[in-house]
């Protein structure tokens, strides 16, 4: 009995040869994307006026939500406040209710025991994995008493995997919420 495999089987079938015998195929199962412990970041679009950021912080404080990390980029007409909060679900509802213009993305938050030495190791690992870093900023709070850095990268899954493999602890939303 002839056994057909791969391209040879397709050629024989195309030529009108008898159907190849059915052989059990043991294919590996596909893996789903790693659901890493990513953190939601809000990009809030603010008019470039005195007190605009204060209004956002007061809104959050009034609803018992804490700003965990903050970065502000300013231009002539507006500013973008990148904010990580203690309760992203509540903040999303608040921003919708109060018509605050915002966007949401995922960031990787990395805990570091020794910033002076680990920062170079962190960026070297991302470089070797060809992960681009778009921007980064430190957390205002220190979960577990250690420094933490929020990273917006082009491939959060790869970055999380690589950094975990290098011994870094990736923090989840529950790790940084009070």
Q: Are 4 and 19 in contact (CB under 8 A)?
A: no
Work out the percent of the chain whose per-residue pLDDT is above 70: 79
pLDDT at 69 over 70: yes
Instruction: State how far the alpha carbon of 136 is from the alpha carbons of 6, 124, 125, 146, in Å.
Output: 48, 15, 15, 17
Judge whether 54 lies within some domain: yes
- Residue 76's pLDDT band (cuts 50, 70, 90): confident
Task: Map tokens 């596909």 to a residue.
Answer: 30
Judge whether 149 lies within some domain: yes
Instruction: State how far the alpha carbon of 36 is from the alpha carbons of 26, 107, 129, 147, 164, in Å.
Output: 29, 10, 17, 20, 10
pLDDT at 10 over 70: no
pLDDT at 147 over 70: yes
Rg over alpha carbons for the chain, rounded to the nearest Å, is: 24
Identify the weakest region by mean pLDDT among 4-13, 134-143, 155-164: 4-13
pLDDT tens digits, 106-118: 999 999 998 888 9
Judge whether 26 lies within some domain: no
Judge whether 56 lies within some domain: yes
Instruction: State how far the alpha carbon of 177 is from the alpha carbons of 9, 15, 65, 110, 144, in Å.
Output: 58, 65, 9, 15, 11
Q: How many domains does the chain have?
A: 1
For residues 46 and 18, the model is more confident at 46
pLDDT tens digits, 82-104: 999 999 999 999 999 999 999 99
Give the pLDDT score at 22: 57
CATH of residue 145: 3.30.2130.10
Q: Which two tokens stand for residue 41?
A: 């970041």
Average pLDDT over residues 153-167: 96
Judge whether 9 lies within some domain: no
pLDDT at 30 over 80: no
User: Please, what is the average pLDDT of the chain?
Assistant: 84
Judge whether 67 lies within some domain: yes
Judge whether 166 lies within some domain: yes
Give the pLDDT score at 90: 96
| Nearest in space to 177 (alpha carbons), one of 139, 146, 149 | 139
Judge whether 7 lies within some domain: no
Segments forming the whole domain that contains residue 75: 39-176
């Amino acid at each position: 009995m002839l056994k057909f495999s791969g391209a040879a089987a397709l050629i024989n079938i195309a030529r009108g040869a008898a159907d190849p015998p059915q052989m059990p195929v043991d294919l590996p199962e596909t893996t789903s994307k790693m659901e890493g412990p990513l953190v939601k970041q809000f990009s809030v679009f603010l008019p470039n006026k005195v007190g605009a950021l204060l209004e956002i912080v007061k809104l959050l404080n009034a609803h018992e939500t804490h700003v965990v990390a903050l970065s502000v980029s300013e231009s002539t007409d507006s500013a973008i406040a990148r904010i990580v909060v203690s309760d992203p679900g509540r903040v999303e509802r608040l921003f919708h209710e109060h018509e605050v213009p915002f966007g949401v993305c995922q960031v990787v938050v990395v805990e570091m025991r020794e910033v002076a030495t680990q920062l170079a190791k962190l960026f070297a690992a991302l470089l070797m994995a060809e992960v681009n870093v778009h921007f980064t900023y430190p957390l205002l709070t220190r979960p577990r008493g250690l420094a933490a850095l929020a990273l917006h990268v082009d491939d959060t899954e790869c970055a999380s995997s690589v950094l975990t493999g290098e011994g870094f602890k990736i923090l989840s939303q529950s790790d940084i919420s009070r």
